[in-house]
Structures are given as structure tokens and as C-alpha cells.
Amino acid sequence: MEKKSTAKYTGAQILMKALKDEGVDTIFGYPGGAVLDVYNELPNTDIRHILVRQEQGAVHAADAYARVSGRTGTCLVTSGPGATNAVTGIASAYMDSIPVVIFTGQVPTPLIGNDAFQEVDIVGISRPCTKHNYLVKNVNDLARTIREAYYIAGSGRPGPVLVDIPKDVLRSAAPYSYQKDIQIRSYNPTYEPNIKQLQKVIDLIQAAKQPVIFTGGGVILSDASAELTRFARACRVPVTSSLMGLGAFPASDPLWLGMLGMHGTYRANLAVSSCDLLIGIGVRFDDRVTGKTDEFADKATIVHIDIDPTSIQKNVAVDVPIVGDCRITLKHLNKLAAAQKPLLDDKALKDRNKWFKQIIQWKEDNMMGYDQKKIIKPQYVVEKLFELTRGEAIITTEVGQNQMWAAQYYHFDKPRHFVTSGGLGVMGFGLPAAIGAQVACPDKTVINIAGDGSIQMNIQEMMTAVSNNLPVKIAILNNGYLGMVRQWQELFYDRRYSSTNMEAAPDFVKLAEAYGAVGLRATRPEEVGPVIREALATPKTVMIDFVVEREENVYPMVPAGSPITNMILV
């Protein structure tokens, strides 16, 4: 009798077994010749396969699945065009440090390099936009490679990992074993920070008159929100964040300053510009946040906590670098802070009160007001969505003004509720992301806040939503323009609206119906609330066309490359 350990499985079967061992319950994918063997095995498992309508959608969906669930996302596409269609999704996940494993089919090994039908060098193409990638040439390496891929994707600074598997490897046979604990030489992320450096941070906080904490996506990725909140409250330090960091700190907390940067709040930009201590946690000091780097927080001592040593000192000069996992580091900081009695002496408390007074004054100069008159204002739609979902929905966005209004007017109290393509800023992200989020969280309300331009980039995923009974809501802020580009043309190109008019558009209500979804429209402000209520009460995919003020702008706005104090206000 054959012993269990010597039983052999095809590459396709090994892939299925490895996915089960990794705890994968969902794959987003699209079939083709090179991956037929995998698709042939899939029905033998209980893994759910979500058939998207274009491969880019598969990666965005897996990316959003990862963001809201905290688990690594998985997708499967075929060779050649399947793989190239996936590249934009991969690049977006890479820029935002999202753990996703992408399996691509490849032509049989003897044909690689021969310009075979549907051959592309996806390992070469994806090298600059993956955390790591593999071409598996031998079936005996497959199980270990898959294990490594999940380990690398989800550990350290997370990111997408691509595994390219030639068709003959999927068909040949080998034994299978799952190696739970693995070690990869030259890959050893640092989770534990240097405690001496941490004591410096506590000393700096005690001495600071005007400190600010600046958080990013790393806080969310490492599930550090509770620790961050404790830390900020104990040290009485106000908090701002990047777009990716929204939800890491509760927006309803009095210490919350709002978002920082190009479309950040007036008070956040002024606070960072005048602070004497800036503690960056899980952020990468993106140019959309810093503006002109030499003038960014130029009065401050800068502390930077990040798991990725290469992101420290990359964009801004840092005084106290700390390499470590955000959650572990904050835990240590909280312990150190608790051991100081008192943490803040009378003088420090007095200074803090002065600082808060100043911030409150900036808050009162509210620079984000808008006037809802006869035509629907896009900001009003987002505020109504916030109000009618009690702030509890998962919000995905497209890219452009819609994304910024979502960030500014939907207030996030919890992490993993705001899903947006921050680093790459890819239009067409929001709808597949809503699908991935809804698959991961079937009981949550998931809303894609969209622009009329962006939604048309991956509108075919409506069919994926409908055919999987996913009740996602799509709120189109329809201004008939590529609004954000039009805004730049208005402000910096003397209103020459070159190729940004999107009036030639489909009837979104009919289009929704054509896909088997529900289509709704609001053209007057008094219709906004009722239409949202109706959408929320409908347990189906719903697309709402909000016909909004055409030339509304996002404010505040810092012109690219300017100091963040140079805000254009309403």
C-alpha cells in the first residue's frame, strides 16, 4: 500500500491543498487556457470563486477583501492578457502595502521565451510593483513557494506577491506537504523596536509644547488603532492622518484634527506646520501629504515609527528613527508612558492647554463649509450617507473629487472601514473594491462613492456584484466632468477644460437595470435623503445617480509642491 507521504498530486491539486492550508476561503479570478487545470480542480474544494468580468477587478477585489478582513487576499488569472490586465491592481496593492497573492498561469516551461501564444514575462513586468515574485519551474517547488508567498505577503510591511505557474507544472505530479514554520534567508522583518529609542519619544512628549501624532495605513495594517488611541489620549497629543490612515483614530474624538495634506483640514495643516514634535506612525510621508518637503513640519523634531527601514529618511529628515511593528511599538510606548508618574507635569499640562486652545480656534475658522442651495452639492450627498448609515458603512471610493469628499465628509471612527487607492490613485478601483469588501463582510453596508468618470472604468463589475447577490451601493457623484482634473484646469490652466467633459454618458439608471441591479436618481437636494434610504432598504446591488453641482471644487487645496500652509480656501 502506498504511504500517505509519498502520494503524488498534480500541480493544480497542490495549489488547492496549499490554499486550504493557508486558510483561503475566497479567490477572485478569471479563467483561461493556462489555468484550466486549476479551474478543473476548484469545484472539488469548498473555496469560493468570484468570477469577475476583468482581471483588474479581481486584484482590486482581493485587495479590498484583505483590507477589511485583515487577511491576505487571493486572485487567480491566466497567462498573457490575464496577467497584464492584473498589473494595475497589483501596482495599487503594492503602493498601499496590501497583502495579496496573485497566481498567474504561464505557458509550458519548454515554450517560455519563444513568444508562445499568450506568453508574457509577468515576473519581469511585475518585479517593480510586487513585494516579491516567483516563476515556479518545477512542481516539487510549488508547495513551498506558495507557503513562502503567503508568508511574505502578510509579514513585515505587507504587499502583493505574484506566483507564476507554467501549465506543465500544473499538470505534473509531486508529493505535498505543508510546512507551517518557515524561514527565508535574508528576509527578517523587525517587529520589536529599540526600547532606548522609545524612551527618547516619551522624553520628547514630556518636553513638547505643541506635539502632533501623524498616522498612516501602517497603523491599520498592524491593527494598532486601540493602542494608538490609548497613547494619544494618555499623552494628550492631537492626531492627524494621511488618506490611508483614516479610521486609525476615531474621528469623533476631540483630539482628532482631520486629514493632513493637499486636501487636508485647515487645522491639521496649520498644526503640523507649527508643531514642535511630530510623531509619524506607519506613514511614508507621501508628497500629497508633505507638499514642499523642506518646509514640512520645519519647526519640529520628527519621530518616525515604521516596520520598513527603507521608508525612514526617504522623504523627510527624521530625528528619531524607530524600526518596528506599529502595534508592538505602541504597546511598549504605552507601558513606558504609564510608568511615568505623572506623565505630564503642571507646566506640560499648561502648555498643552494653550496648544489645544490654538487648535480649537483653527477649528472654529471652519474652512470646509458649503452652501446647499438648489442644486445638489456632492459634499451634502456624502454627509447624508454618513448620517443615514450612522457612520457604520464600509466606504470604498473611486479616484478624484469623489474620493476626497468621501475622506472629508464621511467620518471614520473605526479602522478597516475606508478603502481607497491611496498610493496609485487608480480610477476604477471602487466598484471591484466594494465587491471584495462585501464578500469579506456580508453583514455590513458597503458603499462605493464614485465619480461618473471613474465608475465607467470598471463598470462591467456590476455584473459580478449582481450575479453574486452582493448588495453593494454605488453612489455616483455625477458632475459630468472628470472633476478633479477639471478643478486643476480651472485653478492652474485658466479654465481650459481640455478633454474633461464627460457629458456624453450612459443613462446610469438604465445601465444599472440592464445589469439586473436597481437604478435610482436624485436631481434635487430634497431627493437625496429619500433615495439613500431607499437604496439602504433594498437588499440588492443599487446604483444611485446623484446629479450634482457641475463645477464644485474640493477645498482646502494645497497646490502640488507648495508648503501645506499655502491652502486655497473656499
Residues annotated as catalytic are 55, 117-118, 167, 484
Beta strand ranges found along 69-215 (DSSP E): 73-77, 100-106, 132-135, 160-166, 173-175, 211-215
Helix (H) or strand (E) segment spanning residue 12: helix 11-21
User: Does residue 265 interact with ligand TPP by CB under 6 A?
Assistant: no
- Which listed residue (37, 96, 227, 398) binds ligand TPP by CB under 6 A? 398
Q: Are 476 and 543 in contact (CB under 8 A)?
A: yes
User: Does residue 47 interact with ligand TPP by CB under 6 A?
Assistant: no
Segment contacting ligand TPP (CB under 6 A): 94-102, 355-363, 446-454, 489-497?
A: 446-454
x/- mask, ligand TPP, residues 449-468, rule CB under 6 A, reads --xxxx--------------
Q: Are 311 and 330 in contact (CB under 8 A)?
A: no
Nearer to ligand TPP, 95 or 170 (CB): 95
What the block records as the C-alpha cell of 415 is 479602522
Segment contacting ligand TPP (CB under 6 A): 113-121, 171-179, 250-258, 480-488?
A: 480-488
**Given the DSSP bridges, would you call strands 256-259 and 239-241 parallel, antiparallel or unpaired?**
parallel
Nearer to ligand TPP, 87 or 248 (CB): 87
Q: Least Å distance between CB 522 and ligand TPP?
A: 16
Considering CB under 6 A, how many residues would be counted as binding ligand TPP?
Answer: 20
Q: Measured between alpha carbons, how far apart are the two ends of the chain, in Å?
A: 79
User: Does residue 423 interact with ligand TPP by CB under 6 A?
Assistant: no
Residue nearest to ligand TPP (CB): 451
Q: Least Å distance between CB 407 and ligand TPP?
A: 12
Segment contacting ligand TPP (CB under 6 A): 93-101, 250-258, 315-323, 482-490?
A: 482-490
User: Does residue 479 interact with ligand TPP by CB under 6 A?
Assistant: yes
Nearer to ligand TPP, 324 or 428 (CB): 428
Which CA distances in Å does 239 have to 134, 158, 535, 540?
40, 24, 34, 38
Q: Are 205 and 235 in contact (CB under 8 A)?
A: yes
User: Does residue 36 interact with ligand TPP by CB under 6 A?
Assistant: no
- Which listed residue (95, 322, 394, 484) binds ligand TPP by CB under 6 A? 484
Segment contacting ligand TPP (CB under 6 A): 112-120, 185-193, 425-433, 522-530?
A: 425-433
- Phi and psi, residue 493, nearest 5°: -130, 30
Nearer to ligand TPP, 134 or 481 (CB): 481
**R_g over Cα of the chain:** 25
Q: Are 245 and 219 in contact (CB under 8 A)?
A: yes
User: Does residue 485 interact with ligand TPP by CB under 6 A?
Assistant: yes
Segment contacting ligand TPP (CB under 6 A): 30-38, 171-179, 303-311, 419-427?
A: 419-427
Helix (H) or strand (E) segment spanning residue 50: strand 48-51
Within 10 angstroms of residue 387's Cβ, the number of other Cβ atoms is 12
User: Does residue 399 interact with ligand TPP by CB under 6 A?
Assistant: yes
- Which listed residue (30, 231, 380, 481) binds ligand TPP by CB under 6 A? 481
- Which listed residue (93, 272, 359, 482) binds ligand TPP by CB under 6 A? 482
Within 10 angstroms of residue 438's Cβ, the number of other Cβ atoms is 29
What the block records as the C-alpha cell of 246 is 483614516
Contacts of 569 (CB under 8 A, 6+ apart): 266, 367, 555, 556
User: Does residue 506 interact with ligand TPP by CB under 6 A?
Assistant: no
The residue behind cell 479551474 is: 39
Within 10 angstroms of residue 492's Cβ, the number of other Cβ atoms is 10
User: Does residue 432 interact with ligand TPP by CB under 6 A?
Assistant: no
Cα 448 from chain centre:
13
Segment contacting ligand TPP (CB under 6 A): 185-193, 352-360, 384-392, 396-404?
A: 396-404
User: Does residue 545 interact with ligand TPP by CB under 6 A?
Assistant: no
The residue behind cell 501549465 is: 167
Q: Cα(368)–Cα(383) distance, rounded to whole angstroms?
A: 12
User: Does residue 518 interact with ligand TPP by CB under 6 A?
Assistant: no
Which residues lie near ligand TPP (CB under 6 A)?
398-402, 425-427, 451-454, 477, 479, 481-485, 502
